[in-house]
């Protein structure tokens, strides 16, 4: 309060100035003068009509065009306006409406013609971006959500007629697409699931869409990455991923719109001009069929409408090195057999026709639809097949083959492993597939029974020992016989190899024992020969060691021969001397002996006469006892004991 008292002069001056200004504006207002600032417009409401006129608005209208009382269609631009008496007019100043960058203005009109039945968006009327309300109403503008949008900028919008709502412009980021559904337009034709395409500047020109006969519902066209001014009253939009097909892959396409597939067809034929299904309307207009498509998408990015087509990404067909790919086509025009009368086991057709193609694919990768074409890889290098349980090659064609069980002519059952090497020439590969369908069928239908039965028959014509001994011959015979049999199936038999032969255990034991005995015999013979050689060696060694002695002995023999000759001469002389002496001695002994003999004879004769006389005097038995007693007596033997 003290401050106010102290500065009362300033306060009085301010109050006076305000009163002057207010009085000036009030004076102008009272005089019917309205000043509209440069950044605003004046929206006018007429309270009544002067001079007793009783004109009123038509039924259902709220904006006046002919001076009727009520909200006025004409607004006041910036500047000085007169004749707007305050008791008759109410003027409200409204700032210019600004649509910033990245936004759009969505407009609703509260007056105009009613929307036709079934329509939800009002038709577009030329009205200078809704800045000319009179032109809007006089041009037949319809009330409700408007088709036209207000782009970024500043506008004089009569807010008594129009309500403007800011919304973001539509932005489709990279790698995405915009999928559109129209809320208004013609109804879809019977049997259609997606609306036909209408040129409308990526749905930014709603008037062109409606004028071109745009249909409500899912739209064929999509919006590619970028920014767009799309009316949310008319179009609903969702983003979806663009289709990326990686390298070495293909995209299998199935469409939801088009002509029905022909009778007996499983996929739609190739149609040109639709930019790989990115222009669905062109596809439909050129007779494309709904459903699975024969044409595939290669590696790359595609802006495909997911409501028009679905994509399945699969591997490309791979034909490895040392193989060819035989194509079986399920689609295409009906083919003519190109094999002639020499091949009667299936038809081979030209490329692009339905059936087995006569020309195979060389090694490489091929973008083909696996649902419309089948590629059977046939090896052109040598293929080894094993009839051996638990043994299989990398190709797995022999995974179900097992050791062959046979019976010999002498009733023995035994097993043998067999390996068959085959070769299929490049140009014969389609014939093999046309005949059998695939390589596994060739193995099960031809190779397995042919080879198995051959060896069973061969075993029954021979006893087991002969079969084992003549294995090499059996192998040669098998190769020739199997080669001739497979030639009829366009298959080359390179070689037939007999592997492990497993005879019965009891026979194997017998053969083993026999072999062991033979080996022992050989061992003993070898040892004997070794001993002989050893003996000869020792003899030679001993001979060499005694060679010096032999020489010395030979010298001694020579010396002994000389000595012997000398001794012989000496002995001859001695012998002659002894002979003479012996002759003399013999003569002496003869004479002495004869004398002694005569003496003994004389004595013995006398004793004999005495004995005869003694025996004569006693019996011969008594005489013998007497003689024994004398002998015992002379020997000192006691005949009578002491006690």
Tens-digit pLDDT profile for residues 338-391: 777 777 667 889 998 999 999 999 999 999 999 999 999 999 999 999 999 888
pLDDT above 80: residue 334: yes
CA distance 327 to 369: 11
What's the start-to-end Cα distance of the chain, in Å?
200
Query: Mean of the pLDDT values across residues 469-485?
Result: 88
Q: How confident is the model at residue 44 (pLDDT cuts 50, 70, 90)?
A: very high
Burial 15-35 (b: 16+ CB within 10 A, else e): eeeeeeeeeeeeeeeeeeebe
Q: Which residue has the tokens 């044409």?
A: 295
Predicted pLDDT at 109: 97
- 480-510 as b/e: b if 16+ CB within 10 A: ebbbebbeebbbebebbebeebebeeebeee
Contact 144, 122 (CB under 8 A): yes
Report the relative pairing of strands 353-357 and 413-423 from DSSP bridges: unpaired
Torsion region of 443: left, alpha or beta (phi above 0 gives left; psi -120 to 50 gives alpha): alpha
Structure tokens at 107: 């407009």
Q: How many CA atoms lie within 13 A of 296 on its CB side?
A: 22
Worst-scoring range by mean pLDDT, 72-76, 411-415, 450-454, 549-553? 549-553
* Residue showing tokens 């919006």: 223
Task: Give the dihedral sign, CA 412/417/420/421.
Answer: negative
| Among 317, 322, 318, CA closest to 425 | 322
Task: Please report the sign of the dihedral spanned by the C-alpha atoms of residue 381, residue 384, residue 390, residue 396.
Answer: positive
E strand or H helix that includes residue 392: none
pLDDT above 60 (res 195): yes
pLDDT (0 to 100) of residue 14 = 57
The backbone torsions φ and ψ at residue 451, rounded to the nearest 5 degrees and listed phi first, read -75, -40
Residue scoring higher pLDDT (497 or 31): 497
**Predicted TM-score (pTM) above 0.85:** no
* For residues 460-465, average pLDDT: 82
List Cβ<8 Å contacts ≥24 apart for 454-461. 454/478, 454/481, 454/482, 454/485, 455/404, 455/406, 455/416, 455/418, 456/404, 456/406, 456/407, 458/406, 459/406, 459/407, 459/408, 459/409, 459/414, 460/406, 460/407, 460/408, 460/409, 461/409
Mean of the per-residue pLDDT values for the chain? 84
């Amino acid at each position: 309060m003290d401050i106010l008292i102290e500065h009362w002069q300033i306060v009085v001056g301010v109050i006076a100035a305000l009163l002057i200004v207010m009085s000036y504006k009030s004076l102008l207002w009272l005089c019917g003068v309205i000043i509209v600032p440069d950044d605003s417009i004046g929206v006018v409401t007429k309270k009544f009509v002067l001079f007793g006129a009783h004109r009123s608005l038509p039924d259902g209208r709220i904006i006046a065009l002919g001076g009727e009382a009520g909200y006025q269609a004409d607004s006041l631009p910036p500047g000085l306006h007169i004749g707007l008496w305050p008791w008759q007019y109410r003027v409200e100043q409204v700032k210019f409406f600004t649509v910033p960058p990245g936004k759009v203005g969505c407009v609703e009109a509260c007056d105009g013609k009613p929307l036709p039945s079934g329509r939800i968006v009002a038709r577009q009327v030329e009205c200078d971006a809704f800045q000319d309300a009179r032109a809007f109403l006089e041009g037949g503008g319809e009330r409700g959500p408007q088709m036209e949008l207000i782009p970024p900028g500043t506008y004089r919008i009569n807010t008594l007629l129009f309500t403007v709502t800011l919304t973001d412009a539509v932005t489709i980021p990279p790698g995405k697409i915009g999928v559109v559904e129209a809320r208004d337009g013609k109804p879809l034709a019977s049997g259609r699931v997606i609306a036909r395409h209408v040129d409308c500047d990526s749905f930014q020109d709603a008037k062109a869409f409606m004028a071109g006969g745009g249909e409500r519902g899912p739209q064929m066209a999509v919006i590619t990455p970028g920014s767009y001014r799309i009316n949310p009253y008319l179009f609903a939009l969702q983003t979806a991923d663009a289709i990326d097909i990686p390298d070495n892959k293909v995209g299998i396409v199935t469409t939801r719109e088009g002509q029905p597939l022909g009778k007996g067809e499983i996929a739609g034929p190739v149609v040109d001009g639709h930019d790989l299904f990115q222009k669905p309307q062109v596809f439909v207009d050129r007779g494309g069929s709904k459903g699975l498509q024969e044409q595939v998408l290669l590696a790359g990015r595609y802006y495909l409408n997911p409501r028009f087509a679905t994509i399945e990404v699969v591997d490309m067909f791979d034909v490895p090195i040392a193989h060819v790919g035989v194509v079986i086509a399920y689609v295409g025009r009906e083919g003519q057999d190109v094999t002639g009368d020499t091949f009667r086991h299936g038809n081979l057709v030209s490329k692009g026709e339905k059936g087995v193609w006569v020309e195979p694919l060389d090694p490489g990768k091929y973008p083909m639809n696996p649902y419309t074409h089948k590629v059977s890889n046939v090896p052109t290098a040598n293929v080894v097949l094993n009839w051996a349980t638990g043994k299989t090659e990398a190709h797995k064609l022999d995974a179900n083959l097992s050791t062959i069980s046979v019976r010999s002519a002498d009733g023995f059952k035994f097993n043998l492993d067999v390996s068959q090497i085959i070769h299929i020439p490049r140009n014969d590969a389609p014939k093999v597939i046309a005949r059998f369908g695939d390589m596994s069928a060739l193995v099960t239908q031809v190779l397995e029974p042919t080879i198995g039965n051959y060896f069973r028959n061969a075993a029954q014509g021979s006893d087991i020992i002969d079969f084992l001994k003549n294995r090499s011959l059996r192998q040669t015979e098998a190769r020739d016989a199997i080669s001739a049999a497979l030639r009829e199936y366009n298959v080359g038999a390179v070689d037939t190899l007999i592997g492990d032969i497993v005879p019965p255990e009891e026979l194997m034991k017998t053969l083993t024992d026999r072999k062991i005995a033979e080996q022992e015999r050989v061992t003993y013979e070898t040892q004997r020969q070794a001993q002989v050689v050893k003996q000869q060696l020792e003899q030679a060694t001993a001979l060499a060691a005694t060679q010096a002695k032999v020489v010395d002995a030979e010298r001694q023999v020579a010396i002994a021969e000389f000595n012997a000759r000398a001794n012989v001469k000496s002995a001859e002389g001695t012998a002659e001397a002894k002979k003479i002496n012996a002759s003399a001695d013999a003569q002496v002994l003869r004479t002495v002996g004869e004398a002694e003999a005569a003496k003994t004879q004389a004595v013995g004769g006398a004793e004999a006469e005495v004995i005869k006389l003694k025996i004569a005097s006693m019996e011969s038995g008594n005489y013998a006892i007497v003689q024994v007693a004398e002998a015992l007596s002379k020997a000192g033997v006691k005949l009578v004991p002491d006690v």
